[in-house]
Amino acid sequence: EDNIDNIKQTCKAKVYVTAHSVYSTHKDLLAYTMLKSNSKLASDLFSFHFLESEFENMFVNSMGDLYEMLSNKGLIESKLHFSSALEYIKSLGNIKKGLFVHCVHIKPYEIEYLKSIDASIVIAPRSNYYISKSIPNLELLKSSGINVAIGTDSLASNWDLSIINELKFLYKHYSRIDPAYFFEMATTGGYKALNLNIGFRKGFYAFPFFMKTTTNTPLEEILQ
């Protein structure tokens, strides 16, 4: 913890210690990151890869290929008996706000729980498609009213780190959704997820940009 504090003091960027997922993070470390994010100072942000794979729910019930692989490597301390990944992390402590990343296989009742703790969902659709040929259910997420932001994951599971390319890819699958919603995910959605102030910055100027369009709106033109 002292090393983490030293990094925070010397690094110009904000530094957070976060857990990765139910299958790759020891329960004690996961509980620690949850505790830090719930501190009075709220100096740390809880971030967690959640239901990126259908094997996560099986893993916390000591089932599935992922559990068997890690168990055979001697990386499992004891058998788990939880009905879902959500029930597992809830058993480790209280969660407040935070970022739940991917959520490809999330169910409506799980979204409602995340809403109840003021959490945000961060999707990375091209990364999901790169790995498993599946993407988040954007219509479900939008209709739920939960705050959604969009990211890229890393170059280990993506072709590039372009947010615009993420939006274009997702729009091909969900063209019935208002184009403005896609840009909300890339702007205000991220601000809300990171607890940043939304608005104009003092000393900066906005200039109009004119473009020809063959579609109904400029935003739709960008997405195509």
pLDDT at 202: 80
What does the pLDDT look like over 99-110, one tens digit per residue?
A: 999 999 999 999
**Residue 99 forms beta bridges with which residues?**
47, 120
Strand partners, 149: 122
Q: Which residue has the tokens 């959704």?
A: 177
pLDDT of residue 164: 97
pLDDT of residue 15: 72
Q: What is the pLDDT of residue 100?
A: 97
Strand blocks (E) in 70-137: 99-102, 120-123
Q: How far apart are CA 19 and CA 48, in angstroms?
A: 6
Number of domains in the chain: 1
Residue 94 burial class via C-beta count within 10 angstroms: exposed 0-12, middle 13-18, buried 19 and up: exposed
Beta bridge partners of 102: 50
Per-residue pLDDT at 82: 97
Q: What is the pLDDT of residue 8?
A: 64
Distances (CA, A) of 13 to 8, 150, 194: 8, 20, 14
Q: Which residues of the chain have pLDDT under 70?
A: 1-5, 7-8, 12-13, 38-44
* Opening angle at CA 28, ends 82 and 48, nearest 5: 70
- pLDDT for 4: 64
Domain extent for 151 = 2-223
**DSSP at 147:** E
Cα end-to-end distance, the chain, whole Å = 47
Assign residue 160 the CATH number of its domain. 3.20.20.140
In this prediction, residue 16 carries a pLDDT of: 74
